[in-house]
Structure 1
Amino acid sequence: MKKLYSLLLGGFLLSAPLASAQTLAEKTKGLQKFPGYFPFYWDEKGGRILLEIDKLDQEILYVSSLPQGVGSNDLGLDRGQIGQTRIVKFVKSGPKILLLQPNYDYRAVSPNPEERKSVEQAFAQSVIWGFKAEAQEGNRVLVDLTPFLLRDSHQISDKLEDLKQGSYKAEESRSAVFLPNTKGFPQNSEFEAIITLTGKAKGREIQSVTPDPNAVTVHMHHSFIQLPDAGYKPRAFDPRAGYYANEYMDYATPIDQPILKRQLVRHRLVKKDPTANQSEAVEPIVYYLDRGAPEPVRSALLEGAAWWNQAFEAAGYRNAFQVKLLPEDADPMDIRYNLIQWVHRSTRGWSYGASIVDPRTGEIIKGQVSLGSLRVRQDFLIAEGLLQPYEDGKPTPPDMLQMGVARLRQLAAHEVGHTLGLYHNYSASTRDRSSVMDYPMPRITMRPDGSIDLSEAYAVGIGSWDKRAILYGYQDFGPQADEKAALDAVMKQTLAEGYVFISDADARAAGGAHPTAHLWDDGPNAAAELNRLLDVRRQLLARFSEKALAPGQPMAMLEEVLVPMYLLQRYQVEAASKELGGLYYTYAVKGDGQTITRLVEPAEQWKAFDALLRTISPWELALSEELLLKIPPRPVNYGRSRETFPARTGLTFDPLGAAESAAATTLEFLLNPQRAARLEEYHARHAEQPGLGAVLDKLLAATWEARPETGYPGELQRLVQMLTLQKLLALAAAPQAPVGVKALAALKVEDLKKQLQKEQKAKEEGRRATALAALRTIRQFEDNPEKFQPAPALPMPDGAPIGSNDCGTW
């Protein structure tokens, strides 16, 4: 028996090297071969992909993506979403093949190999997967790629758990290779898998977009891409130019120079003749539109994206930027195609411009735009409310569709701009819409007869700022030019022409201070535009009727059209609030002559304050009785949604709830702790600047000390009074607010308390009740100021993006 065991063991030991010694031809016999950048084989019987690695130790680009998404904008897992882009290489160690990601965040750009090696050894690398060699011939190795493909590479389970949608994990028995989208191309090899994540659903969003929320099936895609050749020349980043940056630390940098390097993220583009004022490009930048976009959307997207050629012509190129319909025989997965795709979701939401970028240099290898298909429908809804076009016996004007299509042109240009390397420029709207990289508020004007004019709702063509940005990023100065000096000259001229670039962090902060950096605003002065919009809004609401509803729609649907009209001012409110306690500044660099910082003039701040006060006036918040009688409770199968106002009245439309959501938003911006802190600081430094105490005094005078109203206006007035108190107490309790701000807010509450005690003797029952409720709220604050939390106000219906960062009306 012992001898037999030895023979069996010996036979096993002999068989192992024989199996591993199989040639690639023997191992892949009978399998379907796919040629391409990495050849691979399909094992139909085993459901496997066998990858032939013929580029050991050679760096490539690995990109994961989500070709078929979940379909909810709230979850942010959309069709076509690009995941992480990494440089990797296959490294062999004995029978193992490791997929290694070098650490390109830390480098030594040096001809000295020992210097480069010292940095490589100082920082960790990442092995993102390990394979067992199935066969080997020389430097060619065969591995089973299937387990690598059948994992949750997009980390959807983690995202769903973070969003409180449930706990999931990839289930192999319900996952498989998706062969139709597994292909080989000359410069890239593409692999796709059907991945099913199973678990226990908890969230409303995941339940709303899946047939069985306990089994979420999506597609995940993997791309192995050839890195570009060394012919690309990186361009130095400038914070004033409007571009994204590719960053890394270079430890070979001389001590007297910055170790952190920043390069522009941009496409490769060079002139055929760099000495010519106008020249064709050696290879133009070409974008291809998803054939799934229907008309008139298709034509609008082609036209809007093509606007960028205007900027490239201004930079000295001829026909260097092109937009075409994706050929029928072309594959959008081919890395050679920059893509504009049309994306469907269950709710409207953001569109995106993403890029696959070479981390070594910042060169854009592929631009990919994702445009949400529901956005145009929201613009159409907005236009219906503005025009109220549905009158019996009269043809419907084309203005609504024209406005929606105009927005799509601008949207296509905007998102393509991101894939050219450009940031948002949220200061552009104050200079006659000088950039498509701003978020545009539709320009709504009123004719002398009171009708609405939408002929200039959205700008046409590329902006003047965009031309300056493309000139900086893409101008070919020629091989003999001093590029640094040439770029300095471009920037000097840009600044001399008065252009300012201010981007996301400065515009999106709730307590933002920059008086010109806003989303969805219009006009050179935020306060003046707010007052103008309020004038337009007042006339719109005064004549708002069922003419805003298409024939056959339930009358309850009038609320959907009413929402963007009632909240016409919402983004201009945020813009005007930044003037109060505002600070104008630029991304100035030493010696460029720009204004570095400048406090907003006190008179401008008080104008903004007065405009903000107007938005919480009972007369601005009220709706007519005639209109209120036309909005019934929702019929069956037409339930309330994110597009309607929240209500405290059950099934009926709640006009006080609508007013609450609007007024609370104004007060949140007005009494933001960061804004309050700046008011106190600037007043302390310059006595003429509005101080927090003066602002609070005027606010209380306009709300609690105003002449009491009766009836419906009286209810609205008392609603605003309570909201003002709650926001003031929240400021007094805010942990992030400075001590002086909290003390001053508490002092104003103490002064108000004395007034409220007198109000308890008022004849009108509503006034006495409000005083009682206010005093109780104050006592709750006094009992434990550090833990005080005011009752939350009803929120506005979802806002940005208009017309379609999550979802909702505007």
Structure 2
Amino acid sequence: MKKLLLILFFIAVSFDGFSQFFTEKTANKLQKGITKYEGYFTFYYDENSDKIFLQIDQLDTDFLYFRSLSEGIGSNDIGLDRGQLGAGVVVHFKKAGNKLMLIQPNQDYRAITDNVEEKKSVREAFAKSVLHGFVIKKERKGIYLVDATDFFMRDAHGVSSTLARNKEGTYSLDESKSAFHLDRTKAFPKNVEFDLMLTFKGSPKGSNLRSVSPNGFLVTVHQHHSFVELPDNNYKPRKFDPRSGGYPMSYLDYATPVNQSIKKRFIYRHRLEKKNPEAEISEAKEPIIYYLDRGTPEPVRSALLEGGSWWNQAFEAIGYKEAFQMKMLPVGADPLDVRYNMVQWVHRSTRGWSYGSSISDPRTGEIIKGHVSLGSLRIRQDFLIAQALQAPYKKDAVDDDFALQMAIARIRQLSAHEIGHTLGFAHNFAASTNGRASVMDYPHPKFSLKENKIDFSNAYDTKIGVWDKVTVAYFYQEFEKDEENELHKILEDAFASGLKYLSDADARSQGSASSSAHLWDNGSNIHDELYNILKIRRTAIENFSKDNIKTKQPYSALEDVFVPLYFFHRFQTEAAVKLIGGLEYSYAVKGGNQTIVKRVSGTTERIALQAVLKTIAVDEIAIPKEKLALFPPRAMGFGRTRESFKSDLGVEFDAFGAVETASEMTLNLLLNPQRASRLIAHKSLNKRQLGLVELLDELITKTIKKTHKDSYYQELQSVINTAVLEQLFYLAAYKNQYKQVNAIVMHKLSEIKTILQNKKLEGIQKIYNLAMIKMIEDFVKNPTSFKKSNAPKIPDGSPIGNDYKY
């Protein structure tokens, strides 16, 4: 009882202290253990109870609230990275009884009108969200004091749900092991920042979390909360055009006249204005400045600063002087402080995507803070690719500067790319077929052969692209009058000059039909570049030796270097396949000058098909016999990883598995159901198009009908033939496609059976043929029971994963 009275007495004294002093401008009268922070919101920290008390003097005033992770988990697969931003939302406080409600109004449905009742009718028609109810502890002259501890000390970023979704276990917040982190809890005139160390308790289920946490039962991260003053009303939103290279922010405006679209679309962009609008060249009133993480090491630091600064070339082209700048983050500044656009160097246990995100004003699309997260292991993968292509360690020498320079060149481009996202720009996956027109494409290193040696000098670009100047002009150029027509002219002029723009949805799926939107490809002539890539790959494999690793490294490391070389053709293959049943099209608008849509010619399809079939030719994808002696069972401490070749031979290196994986990769793309259906449709419209029957005939000729005198090659041919059959079974049984596809494939399976029956073989090959005939007979009897067996999983490729971030 005595202990309870003491606790009640302490609480009363604490609140009495606040009631006397929470409106004072200085904190010198506050009781011991209480610290006052004056800023956009004044708040108090009580170290006696580890609580935050928030002082609120403005009700019904909108401000921006966003959350983020200041310290993450470090697993690319889980995705909870240091510096990861959450959503930014408009909120305001509203008094209701003894509480202040933090309300998020609905920004998706509006009425842009002077009619107050019309605005009210829309506001009342759609739900809002109350994010928290703060009990009022004290009130004085319209100023309220609330205990905000519970609002901040929660899993606002969704760590527990992310862990559960990734099957890493069920976790809950352990408040006894959580506390405010005062080093990053700060107040400024236009924003206040709150940081918390949060510990989650649970039982680990997955391997990813255990691999990055010292104790899988207790996982501690830091979550960050920001209250930010919204920008003034002087920003002018700019209309979104699907051809402009940006992302749309949108809402429904119910005050729109009936003959106009109710859905309003605007671009995301920073505010940028000239000091002197009349001048041809002028400084900006407020330049766009990006700051680099001070934890970034050299030579990466210099590369990121240089690559990011490329954007100033585009701003200069529209009449700005030093409007875009790159600087090092000031000492002591917080990367999550909304006042700093950031490029952050992020470490993970495995390599993964880099991404550019931003916090914007949900009312207008104005970007308030750009934040780039760059995965630190990415540069090592580019180094590995270069190391695989040219043996740099002959005679105990270390001659790998070319590999470092290539990796650094990629980092420069990556800096520009991710910053581009935070400037408002989307991917342009057509740029690589358009003369490296944009840093917003995913660039594959570009190599050539000179005197049978691989030339690295032009691996990556060294500047901003011509398309990037178009997007900067559309987003950031100022116009004295007739803005809409001037913006239209910028795009029309760009497309008239031959520039192209297509983004993610047109590039990523296996069934994609675009003839130009591809990831990690090169060249306007896609099929010729595939031949070039295969030639470079062949040359590098022929030259591959122990000199591709340093002296005293285990030979297991040599196998790891060989992986990206063996699959070096994977992305250009994907690009070439898209020409088959492909389309040339754009985001055309009425009144524009772009191609709306047309089919890729039959001639181009047939050339592309021959190039693609080369990637399942035994003499192309067989690992040379003499190279197999370089790959012993894995050494102690150097076991297989997700980026290694998989093996059906136990500890032994599996050359058959590599061929099976490579061939399945191509066949999955080539015999995609959507592609097969398009071939039927296109052939019906023009008999000169490549048809599905012709494609399958060529495939059968180059695989099933092939024989080799060399027993190694013949065994590998059997591996490929089985993969062909499996993919044909899958296509024949697939339901969501034209039924003509099912009929044609079933007929071709019957032809294959006849071919196999007529082959006069002996010994082991006869056994294989009989087994394949039995496979066809069993499938035809009951196609619905077919379950495709999977080849050994292809090791991670992009980013050079396979999942999409940014």
State the TM-score bracket (shorter-chain normalisation).
over 0.9
Question: How much has 1:26 moved relative to structure 2?
Answer: 6.7
How many residue pairs end up in the alignment?
A: 788
Question: How much has 1:764 moved relative to structure 2?
Answer: 3.0
Change (3 A) 1:276 1:196: same
Verify the 8 A CA contact 2:357 2:370 in the aligned structure 1: yes
Question: How much has 1:433 moved relative to structure 2?
Answer: 0.6
Q: Which moved more, 1:529-538 or 1:729-738?
A: 729-738
Q: Does 1:631 align with 2:631?
A: yes
- 2:62 corresponds in structure 1 to 59
Q: Which moved more, 1:352-361 or 1:147-156?
A: 147-156
- 1:652 corresponds in structure 2 to 652
- Between the aligned partners of 2:567 and 2:744, the Cα distance in structure 1 is 32
- 1:213 corresponds in structure 2 to 216
Q: Does 1:35 align with 2:38?
A: yes
- 1:3 corresponds in structure 2 to none
- Between the aligned partners of 2:518 and 2:720, the Cα distance in structure 1 is 26
SS in structure 1 at match of 2:195: strand
Change (3 A) 1:40 1:283: same
Q: Does 1:774 align with 2:781?
A: no
SS in structure 2 at match of 1:347: coil
Given candidates 162, 174, 178, the residue that maps to 1:175 is 178
Q: Which moved more, 1:674-683 or 1:207-216?
A: 207-216
Question: How much has 1:780 moved relative to structure 2?
Answer: 4.2
Verify the 8 A CA contact 2:190 2:228 in the aligned structure 1: yes
- Between the aligned partners of 1:742 and 1:193, the Cα distance in structure 2 is 58
Residue identity matched to 1:417: G
- 1:465 corresponds in structure 2 to 467
1:358-415 residue CA offsets vs partner (Å, 9 max, x unmatched)? 0100000000011111111111111111121101154514211111111110000000
Verify the 8 A CA contact 1:168 1:198 in the aligned structure 2: yes
- Between the aligned partners of 1:26 and 1:463, the Cα distance in structure 2 is 55
Change (3 A) 1:807 1:716: farther
- Between the aligned partners of 1:373 and 1:140, the Cα distance in structure 2 is 47
1:503-554 residue CA offsets vs partner (Å, 9 max, x unmatched)? 0000001100001100000011111100111111111111110111012210
Q: Does 1:72 align with 2:68?
A: no
- Between the aligned partners of 1:26 and 1:412, the Cα distance in structure 2 is 46
- 1:560 corresponds in structure 2 to 560
Verify the 8 A CA contact 1:243 1:423 in the aligned structure 2: yes
Given candidates 783, 793, 801, the residue that maps to 1:785 is 783
- 2:490 corresponds in structure 1 to 490
Q: Does 1:592 align with 2:592?
A: yes
Change (3 A) 1:154 1:783: farther
Verify the 8 A CA contact 2:245 2:425 in the aligned structure 1: yes
1:432-481 residue CA offsets vs partner (Å, 9 max, x unmatched)? 11100000000111111x22111111000100110011011100113xx1
Q: Which moved more, 1:54-63 or 1:404-413?
A: 54-63
- Between the aligned partners of 2:432 and 2:409, the Cα distance in structure 1 is 17
| Residues 755-766 of structure 1 mapped to structure 2, 5 A cutoff | 755-759=755-759, 762-765=761-764
- Between the aligned partners of 2:219 and 2:733, the Cα distance in structure 1 is 43
Question: How much has 1:138 moved relative to structure 2?
Answer: 2.5
- Between the aligned partners of 1:598 and 1:176, the Cα distance in structure 2 is 61
Verify the 8 A CA contact 1:37 1:188 in the aligned structure 2: yes
| Residues 471-510 of structure 1 mapped to structure 2, 5 A cutoff | 471-478=473-480, 481-510=481-510
- Between the aligned partners of 1:776 and 1:361, the Cα distance in structure 2 is 64
Given candidates 305, 309, 312, the residue that maps to 2:312 is 309
- Between the aligned partners of 1:801 and 1:579, the Cα distance in structure 2 is 23
SS in structure 2 at match of 1:789: coil
SS in structure 1 at match of 2:394: coil
- Between the aligned partners of 1:333 and 1:640, the Cα distance in structure 2 is 37
Relative to the length of structure 1, the TM-score reads 0.95
- 2:729 corresponds in structure 1 to 729
Verify the 8 A CA contact 2:22 2:55 in the aligned structure 1: no
Q: Does 1:398 align with 2:401?
A: yes
Given candidates 427, 433, 436, the residue that maps to 1:433 is 436
Verify the 8 A CA contact 2:396 2:550 in the aligned structure 1: no
Question: How much has 1:806 moved relative to structure 2?
Answer: 4.4
Q: Does 1:289 align with 2:292?
A: yes
- Between the aligned partners of 1:594 and 1:782, the Cα distance in structure 2 is 47
Change (3 A) 1:691 1:24: farther
| Residues 536-615 of structure 1 mapped to structure 2, 5 A cutoff | 536-615=536-615
- Between the aligned partners of 1:120 and 1:26, the Cα distance in structure 2 is 35
- Between the aligned partners of 2:725 and 2:641, the Cα distance in structure 1 is 30
Residue identity matched to 1:148: F
- Between the aligned partners of 1:319 and 1:185, the Cα distance in structure 2 is 27
Change (3 A) 1:22 1:572: closer
- 1:9 corresponds in structure 2 to none
Residue identity matched to 1:182: T
1:723-765 residue CA offsets vs partner (Å, 9 max, x unmatched)? 0000010011123222221222122112222333445x62131
SS in structure 2 at match of 1:626: helix
Residue identity matched to 1:298: R
SS in structure 2 at match of 1:197: strand
Verify the 8 A CA contact 1:264 1:362 in the aligned structure 2: yes
Q: Does 1:161 align with 2:159?
A: no
Q: Does 1:410 align with 2:416?
A: no
Residue identity matched to 2:19: T
Question: How much has 1:294 moved relative to structure 2?
Answer: 0.7
Given candidates 433, 436, 447, the residue that maps to 1:444 is 447
Relative to the length of structure 2, the TM-score reads 0.95
Q: Which moved more, 1:92-101 or 1:331-340?
A: 331-340
Identity %: 49
Q: Which moved more, 1:222-231 or 1:157-166?
A: 157-166
Change (3 A) 1:153 1:773: farther
| Residues 638-787 of structure 1 mapped to structure 2, 5 A cutoff | 638-759=638-759, 762-765=761-764, 767-787=765-785
Verify the 8 A CA contact 2:83 2:336 in the aligned structure 1: no
- 1:241 corresponds in structure 2 to 244
1:67-118 residue CA offsets vs partner (Å, 9 max, x unmatched)? 1111111111111111111111111111111111000000001111111100
- 2:3 corresponds in structure 1 to none
Residue identity matched to 1:23: S
Query: How well do the aligned residues superpose, as a CA RMSD in angstroms?
Result: 1.9
- Between the aligned partners of 1:99 and 1:798, the Cα distance in structure 2 is 44
- Between the aligned partners of 1:649 and 1:624, the Cα distance in structure 2 is 18
Verify the 8 A CA contact 2:796 2:802 in the aligned structure 1: no
Q: Unaligned stretches of 5+ in structure 1?
A: 1-11
- Between the aligned partners of 1:604 and 1:563, the Cα distance in structure 2 is 31
- Between the aligned partners of 1:748 and 1:201, the Cα distance in structure 2 is 50
Residue identity matched to 2:283: E
Question: How much has 1:25 moved relative to structure 2?
Answer: 2.1
Verify the 8 A CA contact 2:335 2:344 in the aligned structure 1: no
Given candidates 69, 76, 82, the residue that maps to 2:85 is 82
Q: Does 1:529 align with 2:529?
A: yes
- Between the aligned partners of 2:444 and 2:20, the Cα distance in structure 1 is 61
Q: Unaligned stretches of 5+ in structure 2?
A: 1-7, 24-29
Residue identity matched to 2:399: T
- Between the aligned partners of 1:154 and 1:476, the Cα distance in structure 2 is 38
- Between the aligned partners of 1:447 and 1:331, the Cα distance in structure 2 is 49
- 1:512 corresponds in structure 2 to 512
Change (3 A) 1:492 1:768: same
Given candidates 342, 346, 361, the residue that maps to 1:343 is 346
Q: Which moved more, 1:205-214 or 1:368-377?
A: 205-214
Verify the 8 A CA contact 1:559 1:631 in the aligned structure 2: yes
Change (3 A) 1:129 1:24: farther
- Between the aligned partners of 1:101 and 1:57, the Cα distance in structure 2 is 11
Residue identity matched to 2:338: I
